[in-house]
Amino acid sequence: MTAPHPLDNPVRSSLAGPHARFAERRGNVLRYPADVSPFLALPDQPDAADWADVAALAGPGALVALAGVRMPPPDGWEVTLIGEGVQLVDHEVEATADGEAVRLGPGDVPEMLELAGERLHPPGWTEISAVCTDDAWRGLGFASRLVRALVASIRARGETAFLHARRESERQSVT
């Protein structure tokens, strides 16, 4: 049997690997702290005990975001949104370091939580996430420059960049 690829269940790969220090765990269920991310990670084939652990970990009435789960939840769960998305992987992105791109640190956390950078981190991979451009500055190439700079930084660490996008956004690209 072939081992699953880290990007098949990227939240679980992140929380069981490089982001394990952030993981909250109940049984086989992992999650980021609720004030950091809404993502929970289940095993690839969750059973009834795993779903019970999701309920206990998330709490009554909580909304949870699941990525990589390809099974419907058990009876009694309400699915409020199913998002169709695409996963894009760095294959020949024109990566360019950018002198105006600034690495942020602990003092920048409030602003970082509002905007952009890196999110999931399966072993050998880094997700580029939440790249945003203020409406007043759109169309000037800032988002493309930021993505290229992030790809260059990720490659410099010996990792591969990837990102997720809504299906309706898949025609947009970084060239």
Q: What is the mean pLDDT of each run of 10 residues along the chain (175 residues)?
A: 82 92 94 84 90 89 75 82 78 83 80 74 90 85 88 93 71 41
- Domain 1-82 fold: Aminopeptidase (3.40.630)
pLDDT at 86: 78
**Model's pTM, two decimal places?**
0.74
Q: Which CATH number fits domain 85-169: 3.40.630.30, 3.40.50.10800, 1.20.1630.10, 1.20.120.160?
A: 3.40.630.30
Q: Which helix (H) or strand (E) is 164 found in, with range?
A: strand 160-166
CB 129 within 8 A of CB 118: yes
The Cα 6–Cα 17 span in angstroms is 10
CB 141 within 8 A of CB 149: no
Coil, helix or strand at residue 82: coil
pLDDT at 14: 92
